[in-house]
Amino acid sequence: MADVVTDIGDTKAYLLAPDGPKVASEQDAVDIIGQLWGQPVALVAIPVERFADGVFDLKTTLLGHFTQKFIGYGKRLAVLGDLGEHLAASESLRAYVRESNRGRHIWFAASIDEVAARLS
């Protein structure tokens, strides 16, 4: 499966394929956002599998810097998939996910269907 721009309800979304290059850094976020320049994409959905090792360890600050770029450029970000192992190992990550999911910009969801429900 390739990365694709699609509609989720009334929202244009860029869905990254699970098997592409790993992402972790602020520059990776800027590169993804740059690929969308000039397109009316409001949401980027990235499967958990696309994140490099260590991203979900909040001590590295990688996740915070990565997600902040999406907020700064006015894009919503959905992290898709099972974070169970990471959540079990970190109270800080559980709190980060809980707070993010209360907001409107960064969401952690089991599937794209869950994101679609939040958008409707």
> Residue 23 gets which letter from DSSP?
B
Backbone angles phi, psi at 17, to 5 degrees: -70, 150
pLDDT tens track for 9-21: 899 999 999 999 9
Here the tokens at position 119 are: 């958008």
Report residue 115's pLDDT band, with 50, 70 and 90 as the boundaries.
very high
The DSSP letter of residue 17 is P
pLDDT band at residue 2, thresholds of 50, 70 and 90?
Answer: confident
pLDDT at 1 over 80: no
pLDDT in tens, 51-105: 999 999 999 999 999 999 999 999 999 999 999 999 999 999 999 999 999 999 9
Tell which residue, 27, 48, 37, has the closest CA to residue 14.
Answer: 37
Q: What distance in Å separates the CA atoms of residue 31 and residue 14, rounded to the nearest whole number?
A: 13
All structural domains of the chain, each given as residue ranges with its CATH number in brackets, are 4-53+60-78+91-105 (3.30.750)
What would the two tokens of residue 80 be? 């898709």
Q: Starting from the edge strand earliest in sequence, which strands make up the sheet with 11-15, in order?
A: 4-8, 11-15, 43-47, 76-80, 106-109
